């Protein structure tokens, strides 16, 4: 295990505000009352301490992640990333692009670790298509199979299949949304949409002459079952 985090993990100045945003320090405290001067120094000190603590906490998180990911690779276990859109006013969508993870995938110490981009990074699904060209990156289209129509989802799947058909995974992300729409309804709809979208994508590739009919059948089985079985080491015996 590394005694210190790799260079890509450390983001110097993380959590610090620009100097123009920091509380000012009075150069000549004698021009102010002792109380105001004390408040100024106290506010500045607390601000710096809080930001320094946030930066140190992130460095610790990154170090732990790197150690766990490396060990997962040694054990042949895949690491899952929840990628793409989230909910809530606090969510930073601009920071959810899977391309932000590229330094992780390119880290020489993690080349043996396989990463799965859950939800395919939607609405950054094109970024995911690019990342599938990396040998240790996989993706599923869960969540998208609930939000999108089969026709819309089929275009994402079609692009991914052209890039790396052996890296695409079927998934539903069956979860409770509301008391009226529970995991049963979400699972049923996602399963139906995902299968229809996959059929549309493969049919288009077949009609365009990109694949043969036997290859179309093979790809369907790969996405629905074989890719996941191979990734997770559960065997490839046919039922």
Both 165 and 141 in one domain: the answer is yes
Q: What is the pLDDT of residues 11-25, one digit of tens each?
A: 434 333 333 333 333
Averaged pLDDT of the chain: 83
Listed residues 46, 68, 90: the one ending a domain: 68
User: Which residue, 18, 35, 68, sits at the end of a domain?
Assistant: 68
Domain membership of residue 186 as a residue range: 78-232
pLDDT tens sequence across 178-191 = 888 888 999 999 99
pLDDT for 86 equals 80
**Comparing C-alpha atoms, which of 109, 127, 111 is closest to residue 119?**
127
Average pLDDT over residues 181-208: 95
Phi, psi of 100 (to 5 degrees): -65, -20
Domains in the chain, number: 2
Are 82 and 64 contained in the same domain?
no
Q: Which residue has the higher pLDDT, 74 or 91?
A: 74
Radius of gyration of the chain from its Cα atoms, rounded to whole angstroms:
24
Does residue 73 lie in a domain region?
no
The lowest-confidence range among 37-46, 71-80, 114-123, 226-235 is 37-46
In a domain, 195, yes or no: yes
User: pLDDT at residue 8 above 70?
Assistant: no
Exposed / middle / buried, residue 189 (Cβ in 10 Å: 0-12, 13-18, 19+): middle
Starting from the edge strand earliest in sequence, which strands make up the sheet with 137-140, in order?
Answer: 79-82, 115-118, 137-140, 168-169
d(CA 74, CA 72): 5
Residues 6+ apart with CB under 8 A from 142: 118, 119, 120, 171, 172, 173, 190
- 115-118 and 168-169 beta bridge pairing: unpaired
Residues 59 and 96 in one domain: no
């Amino acid at each position: 295990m590394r005694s210190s985090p790799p260079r890509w993990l450390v983001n110097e100045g993380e959590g610090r505000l620009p100097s123009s945003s920091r509380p000012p320090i009075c150069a000549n405290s004698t021009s102010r009352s002792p109380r105001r001067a004390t408040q100024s120094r106290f506010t500045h000190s607390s601000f710096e301490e809080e930001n320094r603590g946030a930066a140190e906490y992130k460095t610790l998180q990154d170090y732990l992640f790197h150690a766990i990911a490396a060990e997962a690779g040694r054990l042949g276990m895949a690491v899952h990333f929840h990628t793409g859109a989230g909910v809530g006013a606090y969510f930073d969508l601009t920071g959810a692009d899977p391309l932000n993870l590229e330094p992780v995938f390119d880290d020489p110490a993690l080349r043996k670790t396989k990463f799965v981009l859950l939800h395919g990074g939607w609405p950054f699904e094109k970024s995911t298509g690019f990342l599938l060209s990396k040998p240790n990156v996989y993706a599923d289209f869960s969540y998208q199979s609930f939000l999108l129509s089969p026709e819309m989802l089929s275009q994402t799947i079609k692009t991914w299949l052209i890039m790396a058909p052996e890296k695409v995974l079927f998934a539903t992300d069956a979860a409770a949304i509301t008391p009226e729409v529970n995991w049963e309804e979400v699972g049923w709809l996602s399963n139906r949409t995902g299968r229809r979208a996959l059929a549309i994508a493969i049919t288009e590739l077949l009609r365009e002459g990109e694949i043969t009919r036997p290859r179309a059948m093979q790809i369907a089985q790969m996405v629905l079952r074989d890719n996941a079985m191979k990734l997770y080491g559960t065997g490839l015996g046919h039922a």
